[in-house]
Amino acid sequence: MTTTVRAERLEVRSPQTGDLAGTHPMHTAADVDAVVARARAAAGWWAGLTFRQRAERLDRFRGVIARRLQQLAGIVHEETGKPHADAALEAALVLDHIAWAAKNAPKVLGKRRAGVGLLTANQAASVEYRPLGVVGVIGPWNYPVFTPLGSIVYALAAGNAVVFKPSEFTPGTGAWLVGAFAEIVPEHPVLQLVTGDGSTGAALCESEVDKIAFTGSTETAKKVMAACARRLTPIVAECGGKDPLLVDSDADLDAAADAAVWGGMANAGQSCIGTERVYVHADVYDAFLHKLVDVAARQRAGTDPDATIGPITMPEQVEVIRRHIADALARGGTAVLGGTDAIEGRLVQPTILTGVPEDSTAMTEETFGPTLTVTKVRDMDEAVERANATGYGLGAAVFAKKHGEEIGDRLRCGMVAVNAVFNYPQIPSLPFGGVGDSGFGRIHGPDGLREFTYARSVARQRFTPPLALTTFGRTAKTDALVAKIMTLLHGKH
Ligand code: NDP
């Protein structure tokens, strides 16, 4: 690609070692516009292929990722610092999504008949979902494979070209994915990469893309939305959360403790759907807390291969984590494990806080670290009330033998896991996304395919209707008859 990149290059350093992991172009707004123009041309070709032809290419892309999983995981490990095995798991979980999107796109988006009413019985109606054109995907660093591909793959399966701007922390991962796709689809630049910092992302929002799929913080989502407003470019926003986990009195406490530790501390707690707040029924609070601390104390943050928790990817995040823990302790909370002195450089050891007031930043803001707050509640009514007392509404988890789903139904969020954590993103047919400060729109599932399309309706008149309605030649007799029919049909309600 010929570009007029800025003189400086983006330097990526390994959070594990501080070593240089790679340098990448700092693409300017002019570069971004040029890439989007190339994508526009490619989009026409890609949209002109059949669903089957696109599926065949996406399936081969899936094969490449599967065969080179360890190579991809190596780059993710180096750029994010997460354990290599976790990086490989992240990449593996994307494979089912690619298969599902490729296979289901024709069924979900293809032309199908739509029903007609009594007065329109002479019409043949149909609807189909057409690609928007060029989709800009702005990705995060915490799951640099799984999260952006959740938009990219569904947008591609729907027939769009994509311009991908990975986080400045993970451009190498983005380059690998785009390179692998180009091997499968060499004819046209259907999936392209732009790299740089936030200004490159901002340029993508202001370019002539037809939609932006954004994953990141709520604050940046607002900037993205404001920039996109200038051209009325729609966005799907997958922002953060403050996900609760509820433990009822009849829950399997071992399973709940194990899940809470994984939900809160896997990927060093840097998950949008990470568990941050735990609400436990008073009857089982002590027993649960004991088990939770036991499981968490067996995890260790480090840079060696045996560490289960890697370093914090983004250097500034360490201060956010420290501030939240300090605020919890200053307001009367207790660190039953870890605490502020569990932070050393980029490493944060597992931290469990109890007795934290609900207005502490540890309870209200996204911490994005391996920390959990645990709160004793009278019953599940109180748990639901406290869980819902946040502007966020991404995911939630409930552990209960009898009433898990009922409790889950009362939670204000986009996704609920019952007796598990992180299960719903693994199921490709399930839409993923939140409400409130957690964003809007959906990736994954049928909704995730339709998100990158527009509905197009056709109504074909098959024969002249006995009652001609849309003509100036309509008679008073017709009007009287229509009034009578409509009263008969709807008047009884
Ligand atoms: P941001 O929301 O700032 O970044 C997310 C993506 O947006 C990155 O690709 C970033 O690029 C890009 N970006 C930044 N500024 C703009 C802009 N003005 N216009 C368009 N794109 C832009 O998150 P951070 O990475 O700074 O993390 C901050 C916090 O956000 C975290 O602590 C965490 O709480 C939350 N977060 C939540 C995520 C989730 O999964 N929901 C993922 C990541 C973060 P660049 O990296 O180059 O600046």
User: What is the number of domains present in the chain?
Assistant: 3
Sheet containing strand 334-337, strands side by side: 334-337, 351-354, 371-377, 275-281, 243-247, 395-399, 415-418
pTM: 0.96
Q: How far apart are CA 274 and CA 296, in angstroms?
A: 15
Which atom of ligand 1 lies nearest, measured to the CA of 165?
A: 9
The answer to the question of residue 468 being in a domain is yes
Please tell me whether residues 218 and 252 are part of one structural domain.
no
Nearest CA to ligand 1 atom 48: 198
> What are the DSSP calls for 1-61, one per residue?
------SSEEEEE-TTT--EEEEEE---HHHHHHHHHHHHHHHHHHHHS-HHHHHHHHHHH
**Bridge partner residues of 130 (DSSP):** 454
Torsion of CA 22, 194, 233, 157, to 10 degrees: -100
Please tell me whether residues 235 and 304 are part of one structural domain.
no
Q: How far apart are CA 145 and CA 139, in angstroms?
A: 9
The answer to the question of residue 383 being in a domain is yes
Please tell me whether residues 31 and 112 are part of one structural domain.
yes
Please tell me whether residues 96 and 203 are part of one structural domain.
yes
Closest Cα to residue 422, out of 255, 309, 273?
A: 273
Nearest CA to ligand 1 atom 31: 217
Which atom of ligand 1 lies nearest, measured to the CA of 317?
A: 32
Q: How far apart are CA 81 and CA 312, in angstroms?
A: 7
Determine the residue type at 72: L
Q: Residue 140 Cα, ligand 1 centroid: separation in angstroms? A: 6
Pocket of ligand 1 (CB under 6 A): 138-142, 165, 167-168, 197-198, 201-202, 205, 215-217, 220, 223-224, 238-240, 272, 314, 317, 366, 368
Q: Residue 218 Cα, ligand 1 centroid: separation in angstroms? A: 9
Nearest CA to ligand 1 atom 46: 167
Residue pLDDT, tens place only, 210-235: 999 999 999 999 999 999 999 999 99
Please tell me whether residues 251 and 354 are part of one structural domain.
yes
pLDDT at site 228: 98
Please tell me whether residues 53 and 197 are part of one structural domain.
yes
Q: Which two tokens stand for residue 249?
A: 């009195």
Q: How far apart are CA 264 and CA 493, in angstroms?
A: 51
Please tell me whether residues 235 and 249 are part of one structural domain.
no
pLDDT at site 189: 98
Specify the DSSP class assigned to residue 182: H
The answer to the question of residue 90 being in a domain is yes
Range of the domain at 330: 243-391+395-428
pLDDT at site 430: 98
Q: Residue 65 Cα, ligand 1 centroid: separation in angstroms? A: 25
Q: Which two tokens stand for residue 330?
A: 């200053």
Q: Mutate which of 147, 217, 319 to test ligand 1's pocket (most atoms within 8 Å of Cβ)? A: 217
The answer to the question of residue 191 being in a domain is yes
Q: Residue 68 Cα, ligand 1 centroid: separation in angstroms? A: 28
pLDDT at site 7: 60
Q: Which residues of the chain have pLDDT under 70?
A: 1-7
Please tell me whether residues 35 and 153 are part of one structural domain.
yes
The answer to the question of residue 226 being in a domain is yes
Nearest CA to ligand 1 atom 9: 167
The answer to the question of residue 181 being in a domain is yes
Please tell me whether residues 81 and 94 are part of one structural domain.
yes
CB 394 within 8 A of CB 415: yes
Q: Residue 294 Cα, ligand 1 centroid: separation in angstroms? A: 34
Q: How far apart are CA 25 and CA 3, in angstroms?
A: 9
The answer to the question of residue 286 being in a domain is yes
pLDDT at site 467: 87
Residue 419: how many other CB atoms lie within 10 Å? 17
The answer to the question of residue 435 being in a domain is no
Catalytic residue set = 238, 272
SS (H, E, C) 91-146: HHHHHHHHHHHHHHHHHHHCCEEECCCHHHCCEEEEEEEEECCEEEEECCCCCCCH
pLDDT at site 31: 98
Nearest CA to ligand 1 atom 18: 202
The enclosing H or E element of 191 equals strand 191-193
Please tell me whether residues 372 and 253 are part of one structural domain.
yes
> CATH no. for residue 120?
3.40.605.10
Please tell me whether residues 223 and 358 are part of one structural domain.
no
> CATH no. for residue 354?
3.40.309.10
